[in-house]
């Protein structure tokens, strides 16, 4: 096993934020150490999006008896133009629910990660490029950069994020650490920050601006920053083409659905080779590697794939000695699921996967917010 230079006393040196709170520093250290032996399993909206709207415990807990190790949330409703911070406002109610879920996850010893489906700066109605005019698509991303027409607008959105993240506190008043994954899947062009709508240089500038503003201007010190393209890369150089730099990124991630979409072992091996690129880079640079989104969605018309979790996904996360700290499934909803509850046809396959040696639900996590003694 390769020894990296990370110790309990030098961890902050390898992080984006040298002034990170002690719980945030501990989270970085523990995620990095965890990856040597296990991959934490997460799900987006695990506490409130259920297959067939069956409320109660998370679908993962219904199946396995344990909550996931990671809770995924989104700043989308929190920064929505219609959030007026009044008690009777639907968007504000979503904000309150997300804050409560985040605190609940932290109290359970889970890890919190946030993405941001930020709506475009003109009408603020959609994050999908397909819903925008050609003119809007051409200028939207450039307009939020420093000096751009919508940079002040963008700063106000970041102000809102800063105020929410700074208000996330545990039982002893300590700040709750989160992972933040801005402008994800930028190598595709489905989002308005995608490849067709910004240059590599513009992307790097926006990412750097986001980090610098939250950390230095707003003084937010409970964030780990994740970088996550979709799965289009095949080489390290390709992966790093829009990378804002080691000073700006804690977590080397990727979203990958395509390689798992009915591609069998061939697809799983492709996913593994892409994850190996991340794992190797994370080992060399003392960063954390993660599969930041994945899954295969089962519906009434799309049946489960036999052994998808226990064989295909598990092999992708473990072959070739890779070290992937965590992975996250997308959310379940009324008519489809990524993680089966206890009644779904592939419930046993998921349960088998989650109890394998290198898998971790919340019950097999160490204390993530304390340095080991």
Binned average pLDDT, 10 residues per bin, the chain of 373 residues: 82 98 98 98 96 90 98 98 98 98 98 98 98 98 98 98 98 98 98 98 98 98 98 98 98 98 97 98 98 97 97 98 98 96 96 98 98 93
Q: What pLDDT does 1 receive?
A: 44
125 is catalytic: no
Q: Are 110 and 61 in contact (CB under 8 A)?
A: no
Using CA atoms, how far apart are residues 370 and 264, in angstroms rounded to an integer?
Answer: 40
Give the C-alpha separation, 323 to 307, whole Å. 22
Report the SS3 class of residue 224: strand
Q: Which pair of structure tokens corresponds to residue 220?
A: 């937010």
Two tokens at 89?
Answer: 């406002």
Q: Which two tokens stand for residue 282?
A: 């994370």
Residue 192 and residue 206: Cα distance in Å, rounded? 13
Q: How many whole angstroms separate alpha carbon 194 and alpha carbon 215?
A: 25
Instruction: Single out the catalytic residue among 23, 95, 293, 323.
Output: 293
Distance CA 168, CA 145 (A): 28
Structural domains of the chain ordered from first start:
11-364 (3.20.20.80)
Other CB atoms closer than 10 Å to residue 361's CB: what's the count?
22
- Note the pLDDT of residue 89: 98
Nearest residue to 288 via CA among 106, 43, 113: 113
Q: What are phi and psi of 159, to 5 degrees?
A: -60, -40
135 is annotated as an active-site residue = no
> CB of 24 within 8 A of CB of 222?
yes
> Which pLDDT score, from 0 to 100, does residue 242 have?
98
CA distance 125 to 116: 14
- Among 135, 185, 202, 323, the active-site one is 185
Question: What contacts 81, CB < 8 A, 6 or more positions away?
Answer: 119, 124
The confidence score (pLDDT) of residue 218 equals 98
């Amino acid at each position: 096993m390769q020894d990296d230079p990370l110790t309990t006393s030098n961890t902050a040196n390898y992080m984006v934020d040298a002034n990170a709170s002690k719980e945030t520093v501990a989270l970085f250290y523990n995620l990095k150490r965890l990856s040597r032996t296990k991959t934490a399993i997460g799900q987006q909206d695990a506490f409130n999006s259920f297959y067939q709207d069956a409320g109660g415990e998370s679908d993962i807990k219904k199946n396995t008896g344990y909550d996931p190790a990671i809770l995924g949330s989104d700043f989308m409703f929190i920064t929505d133009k219609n959030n007026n911070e009044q008690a009777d406002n639907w968007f504000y109610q979503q904000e309150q629910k997300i804050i409560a879920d985040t605190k609940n996850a932290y109290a359970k010893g889970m890890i919190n990660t946030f993405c941001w489906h930020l709506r475009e700066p003109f009408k603020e109605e959609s994050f999908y490029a397909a819903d925008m005019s050609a003119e809007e698509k051409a200028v939207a991303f450039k307009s939020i950069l420093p000096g751009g027409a919508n940079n002040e607008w963008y700063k106000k959105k970041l102000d809102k994020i800063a105020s929410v993240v700074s208000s996330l506190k545990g039982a002893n008043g300590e700040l709750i650490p989160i992972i933040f994954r801005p402008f994800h899947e930028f190598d595709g062009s489905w989002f308005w920050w995608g490849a067709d709508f910004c240059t590599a240089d513009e992307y790097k500038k926006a990412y750097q601006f986001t980090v610098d503003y939250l950390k230095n201007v707003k003084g937010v010190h409970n964030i780990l920053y994740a970088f996550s393209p979709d799965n289009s890369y095949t080489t390290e150089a390709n992966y790093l083409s829009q990378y804002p730099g080691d000073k700006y990124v804690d977590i080397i991630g990727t979203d990958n659905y395509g390689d798992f979409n009915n591609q069998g072992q061939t697809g799983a091996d492709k996913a593994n080779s892409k994850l190996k690129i991340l794992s190797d880079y994370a080992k060399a640079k003392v960063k954390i590697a993660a599969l930041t989104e994945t899954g295969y969605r089962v519906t009434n018309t799309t049946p489960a794939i036999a052994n998808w979790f226990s064989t295909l996904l598990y092999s992708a996360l473990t072959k070739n000695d890779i070290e992937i700290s965590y992975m996250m499934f997308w959310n379940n909803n009324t008519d489809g699921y990524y993680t089966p509850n206890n009644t779904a046809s592939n419930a046993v396959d998921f349960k088998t996967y989650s109890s394998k040696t290198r898998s971790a639900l919340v019950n097999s996590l160490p204390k993530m917010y304390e340095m080991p003694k």
